[in-house]
């Protein structure tokens, strides 16, 4: 089973991925995406209608930076305090996944000891990290704190989706505990996104803002 824990759609201001096109590519490649739009879960309904398997996620901009919730039914508001956001994810039966924690250019959060204990998964490879040292540091952090490692493509464009994923033994997708068990035996397939991608994303966000495009 192949899983990508970090994928955006055009419900994020800086992504242009159409859910329909993502669904088609996911089906073709056999990769199950976690839909992790910025501060919204609006794409979940669209993906449900498209009938492909996916994990209902959100990338939450907390008061200190980014945190991903997996298996969410309700949106967690922007700027929720970081520790509170972890608790809200768990209160929904979800999993707290810390993305690009050492990437200072992209609102990574370095958690306290107490917060670290509560986190379920550490993203040790994010395809969009400009410096591989950010990923290496995250990997070291996960090992030192005995946290489950995983990778995410952080796709904002369709071409980015498919090169980075976690290959895990099959499990019941709707069961977060089963995911954690399965992830212990994961093989991480990773590939960095081309260097120009990040700047392009900023351009998309700016253009969308100027045109006041909502999706």
Binding-site ranges for Zn ion (CB under 5 A): 59, 154
Smallest distance, Zn ion to C-beta of residue 110, A? 17
- Closest to Zn ion by CB, 7 vs 183, is 7
Count the neighbouring beta carbons within 10 Å of the beta carbon of residue 48.
11
Give the Cα separation of 165 and 32 in Å (integer): 9
Give the Cα separation of 72 and 41 in Å (integer): 8
Record the tokens describing residue 86, joined without a space: 């972890």
Q: Which residue is nearest to Zn ion (CB)?
A: 154
Smallest distance, Zn ion to C-beta of residue 5, A? 10
Smallest distance, Zn ion to C-beta of residue 12, A? 8
Smallest distance, Zn ion to C-beta of residue 152, A? 8
Smallest distance, Zn ion to C-beta of residue 154, A? 4
Which CA distances in Å does 31 have to 17, 97, 98, 159, 179? 16, 19, 21, 14, 15
Question: Burial, 53: exposed, middle or buried (Cβ in 10 Å; 0-12, 13-18, 19+)?
Answer: middle
Place of tokens 């810390």: 98
């Amino acid at each position: 089973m192949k899983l990508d824990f970090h994928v955006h759609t055009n419900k994020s201001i800086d992504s242009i991925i159409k859910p329909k096109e993502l669904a088609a590519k996911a089906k073709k490649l056999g990769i199950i995406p976690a839909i992790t739009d910025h501060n919204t879960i609006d794409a979940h309904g669209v993906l449900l209608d498209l009938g492909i398997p996916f994990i209902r996620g959100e990338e939450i901009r907390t008061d200190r930076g980014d945190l991903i919730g997996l298996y969410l039914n309700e949106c967690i508001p922007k700027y929720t305090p970081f520790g509170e956001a972890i608790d809200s994810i768990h209160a929904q039966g979800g999993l707290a996944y810390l993305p690009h924690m050492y990437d200072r250019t992209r609102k990574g959060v370095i958690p306290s000891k107490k917060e670290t204990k509560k986190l379920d998964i550490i993203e040790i490879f994010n395809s969009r990290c400009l410096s591989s040292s950010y990923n290496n540091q995250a990997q070291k952090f996960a090992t030192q704190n005995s946290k489950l490692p995983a990778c995410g493509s952080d796709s904002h464009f369709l071409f980015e989706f498919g090169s980075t994923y976690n290959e895990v033994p099959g499990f019941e997708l709707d069961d977060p505990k089963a995911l954690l068990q399965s992830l212990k035996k994961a093989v991480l397939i990773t590939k960095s996104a081309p260097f120009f991608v990040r700047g392009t994303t900023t351009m998309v966000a700016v253009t969308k803002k100027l045109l006041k495009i909502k999706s």
